[in-house]
Amino acid sequence: MIETAAIQKRVIRALVFAQILGGIGLGATVSVGALLASDVSGSPAWSGMAATMSTLGAALIAVPLARAAQARGRRVALSIGSIVAALGAVLATFAAALGSFPLLLVGLALAGAGSATNLQARFAATDLAVPLHRARQLSLVVWSTTIGAVLGPNLIEPGELIGGAIGLPTLTGPFVFTVAAQVAAMLVYYFALRPDPLLTALANAPAREGAPPRHGFATLRVNALARYAVAAVALSHATMVAMMSMTPVHLYEHGATLIIVGFALSLHIAGMYALSPAFGWLADRWGRIPTILFGQGMLVVSLLTAWVGSHSQVLVIVSVVFLGLGWSASTIAGSTLVAESAPVDDRAGLQGVSDLLMNSTAAVCGALAGPVLALVGYSGLGVVCLLLVAVVGFWSVRHLAPARRPADIR
């Protein structure tokens, strides 16, 4: 057996630092992606493809990264993800110089690897964590992304100044920060995650004779708790993305200034990340499933507020704050449950499938949110999203009794 307490402390420090860097890189990419897509394509109608391609890229690379982690460890997998994201930013810059919209979409999809890497880094925090602190340590890594996510969008102007000085195309200057931050994150992952947390956990795990590791979908077929955990994360994320993809449009079309729109988005992001450690503490103290149910309750408050208060800017802002809080509680507790609902040698595969479904479900719901908004309005969109919350809520209640058995992991 390998002593893990000291290793875990180093792992958390490395992950927090790398997540800050990765968040800067991701924030800088997202902040100009829509503008660049509009500029290169020649039409604002294509601006939404930036977020779509980034989300799809994150979904598609999630499973390969998980398999790399299973075979070579977290440090190799996370390093690969960071480098792919950096290469995506470089390719997007070349695409802008060439005026090639298809090449730009490919570059933005590759840059989505940064999001997939950040998501899988939260699971790396759980590899060696003791059960009583597992959710808190995962939530600390999630929280650290906030710093980069806030800094990234503020790098547009400095990035453009640097880009102009070295001759980069318009709107690609912030990619300088993307590339630098992702390369720096790669170095942190590769050199600081030693010994590797997942490989150490696998070395410490009891042997499973005659039971080879399962791929993620195989685990879902035989593991009811894993199915629930993956669904809770995916549907909570889809609810958040569907509402937030339309909230700026709704506010702006109903007279809100860009300052109000930006204020609403800032409060929503604060709701998503600022209280992450508190929700991690709750998940460790109350249990994973009760915390997921608590998160669904806040999502219900958010969606009901959007339903009855869609005409009010104040109530819409209140709604998106609760939307962020509900997402945070559900995602942190659900991700922790994903990490511990399967044997250690099956976990990486399950985690990759969870991230794949999380991103692909969000992409679909984000795309459908526009037509739903046009058909039934913002309040109607909230009612439709209540159906997703209801699924998780009823499923959570069904699992509550088994979760309270002594054999269950809190």
In the chain, CATH 1.20.1250.20 sits at 5-202, 216-403
Q: With contact defined as beta carbons under 8 Å apart, do 352 and 338 qualify?
A: no
pLDDT band at 353 (very low <50, low <70, confident <90, very high): very high
Question: Contact at 8 Å (CB) between 228 and 401?
Answer: no
pLDDT at res. 408: 44
CB contact at 8 A, 59 and 359:
yes
Three-state SS at 193:
coil
Q: 10 Å Cβ neighbour count for 381?
A: 28
For tokens 């679909």, name the residue.
364
Task: Give yes or no for a contact between 116 and 359, defined as CB atoms under 8 angstroms apart.
Answer: yes
Q: Is 89 helix (H, G, I), strand (E, B) or coil?
A: helix
User: CATH assignment of 216-403, given 3.50.50.60, 3.40.640.10, 3.40.50.720, 1.20.1250.20?
Assistant: 1.20.1250.20
Domain formed by 5-202, architecture: Up-down Bundle (1.20)
Buried b (16+ CB within 10 A) or exposed e, 326-345: bbbbbbbbbbbbbbbbbbbb
Average pLDDT, the chain: 87
For 218-246, the pLDDT digits (tens) are 889 999 999 999 999 999 999 998 898 88
Q: Is there a contact between 118 and 26 (Cβ–Cβ < 8 Å)?
A: yes
Q: Which residues contact 146 (CB under 8 A, 6 or more apart)?
A: 23, 269, 273, 274, 276
Which residue's structure tokens are 């989505």?
112
pTM of the complete model: 0.87
Q: How far is CA 38 from CA 99, 124, 363, in A?
A: 11, 36, 19
Q: What percent of the chain has pLDDT over 70?
A: 91
pLDDT in tens, 12-62: 999 999 998 887 767 666 667 777 887 888 876 677 677 788 888 999 999
Residues 118, 23: contact at Cβ < 8 Å? yes
| Token pair listed for 397 | 């209640």
Query: pLDDT category, 1, cuts 50, 70, 90?
Result: very low
